[in-house]
Structure 1
Amino acid sequence: MEQRQQGLLEKEPLQEVDEDMVSEVDLNNTITEEEKEEMHNELTKLEEEIATLKQVLASKERRHSELKQRLGITTLSELKQNLSRGWTDVQSSTAYKKTSETLSTAGQKTSAAFSNIGTTISRKFGDMRNSPSFKSFEEKVESTVSNIKSKVGGSGSGGSFEDVLSSAAQASAQETPPTNPTQSTESTC
């Protein structure tokens, strides 16, 4: 006999006899006929139990539906109840409480910031009005208006910037033509 053991893997290919032996092994023969019959019986019992359980479940679902109908419980009322319960759960959660507190704090800080901005803008306008540049501009406008008034025939009394603006507004109100066209034609006739 020849020594063929050179390692774990043989380098020679399988021979016909070896291939025949491999094909003769049937993996399904590991279960006996008695075991197969027991398995078929168990399978049949399980299928019967499943069918029975389906019938019982269908019967219970019908009874459930009848009771809900007699009690006046509709799908809509159940949905409202579930939403109400869910909202209550959300409001009692720590995440909601923390978020609510954070938003409240942010709102207060934003309100304070806008208040500070308003105060700052107001102060800046006051500072600007008291600045030499604005005073110079105001004086130039007042002198220009005074010159125009004196040339047009108004009083040359000058006055403050506010007085000049109010008198200009009054003058423009007096110069507006009447809105009723029949009045203007009657006065000319």
Structure 2
Amino acid sequence: MEANVKGSQQDLDPVAEVGQDAAMGVGPPSPIPTMTEEERQELQVELLRVEDEIQTLSQVLAVKERQLADIKRKLGVTPLNELKQNFSKTWQEVTTSSAYKRTSETLSHAGLKATAALSNVSAAISRRLEDVR
């Protein structure tokens, strides 16, 4: 198993962690000078254990994702149906938000004022046209 885990360590791409200086990601990390050989070995064992757990969890996740896809297929849930449901849910959340309600009320009020103004302009034009006749 140790050879298998070491092989998986070689497959890993040494990518800098978020916030880690990119220069630190170059080259092999140097051991902490105050670390004893026993502590270093314990950390190596812990590293192998955690990597093994990650691999196991990845395999379990892949199985669960296949199970999920199979259940959705049996239920007739398609990606398009999911997209429609997500869109409907999002639209409902938007329309029930206080910002949407305030904006809608403001636009409605503005529309009423615009309608009244256009009506007044129309009436004024009609009166002018009658006066010209």
- Same-fold call, TM cutoff 0.5: yes
Partner of 2:45: 41
Report 1:1-189 matches (<5 A): 28-129=32-133
Query: What CA distance in whole angstroms lies between the structure 1 residues aligned with 2:40 and 2:77?
Result: 51
| TM-score, normalised relative to structure 1 | 0.51
CA-atom RMSD in angstroms = 1.7
Query: What CA distance in whole angstroms lies between the structure 2 residues aligned with 1:29 and 1:89?
Result: 56
AA partner of residue 104 (structure 1)? S
* 1:127 Cα deviation from its structure 2 partner: 4.1
Structure 1: tracts of 5 or more residues without a match: 1-26, 130-189
Partner secondary structure for residue 41 of structure 2: helix
* 1:121 Cα deviation from its structure 2 partner: 2.2
Query: What CA distance in whole angstroms lies between the structure 2 residues aligned with 1:77 and 1:49?
Result: 35
Identity, % of aligned positions: 53
Query: What CA distance in whole angstroms lies between the structure 2 residues aligned with 1:34 and 1:77?
Result: 57
Higher relative contact order (CA 8 A, sep 6+): 2
AA partner of residue 113 (structure 1)? A
Partner of 1:179: none
Partner secondary structure for residue 30 of structure 1: coil
| TM-score, normalised relative to structure 2 | 0.70
Structure 2: tracts of 5 or more residues without a match: 1-30
Partner secondary structure for residue 77 of structure 2: coil
CA, structure 1 residues 28+91, in 2 after alignment: closer, same or farther (shift >3 Å)? closer
Map Cα deviations across residues 39-90 of structure 1 (whole Å, 9 max, x no partner): 1111111111111111111111111111111111110000001111111111
* 1:128 Cα deviation from its structure 2 partner: 4.6
Aligned residues: 103
CA, structure 1 residues 35+105, in 2 after alignment: closer, same or farther (shift >3 Å)? same
Q: Whose radius of gyration is greater, 1 or 2?
A: 1
Query: What CA distance in whole angstroms lies between the structure 1 residues aligned with 2:126 and 2:75?
Result: 67
Query: What CA distance in whole angstroms lies between the structure 2 residues aligned with 1:66 and 1:128?
Result: 78
Query: What CA distance in whole angstroms lies between the structure 1 residues aligned with 2:126 and 2:102?
Result: 36
Partner of 2:27: none
Map Cα deviations across residues 100-145 of structure 1 (whole Å, 9 max, x no partner): 111111111111111111222233344455xxxxxxxxxxxxxxxx
